[in-house]
Amino acid sequence: VIGSGTYLDSGRLRNTLSDITGVSPTSIHAYMLGEHGDNQFTGWSSARIGGLPLLDHPKLRGLDLDSINQKIARKAYEIIEAKGSTYYGIGMCAAIIAEALLNNTSQVFPLTHYVEGLGCYMSWPAAIGSGGVGQSFDVKLDSAETTKLDIAVNAIKEACAKYT
**Cβ pair 47, 36 in contact under 8 A:** no
SS3 annotation, the chain: CCECCCHHHHHHHHHHHHHHHCCCHHHEECCEEECCCCCEEECHHHCEECCEEHHHCHHHCCCCHHHHHHHHHHHHHHHHHHHCCCHHHHHHHHHHHHHHHHCCCCEEEEEEEEECCCCEEEEEEEEEECCEEEEECCCCCCHHHHHHHHHHHHHHHHHHHCCC
Strands 107-115 and 40-42: unpaired
Q: Pick the catalytic residue from 29, 36, 57, 113.
A: 36
Question: 57 an active-site residue?
Answer: no
Residues annotated catalytic, as ranges = 36
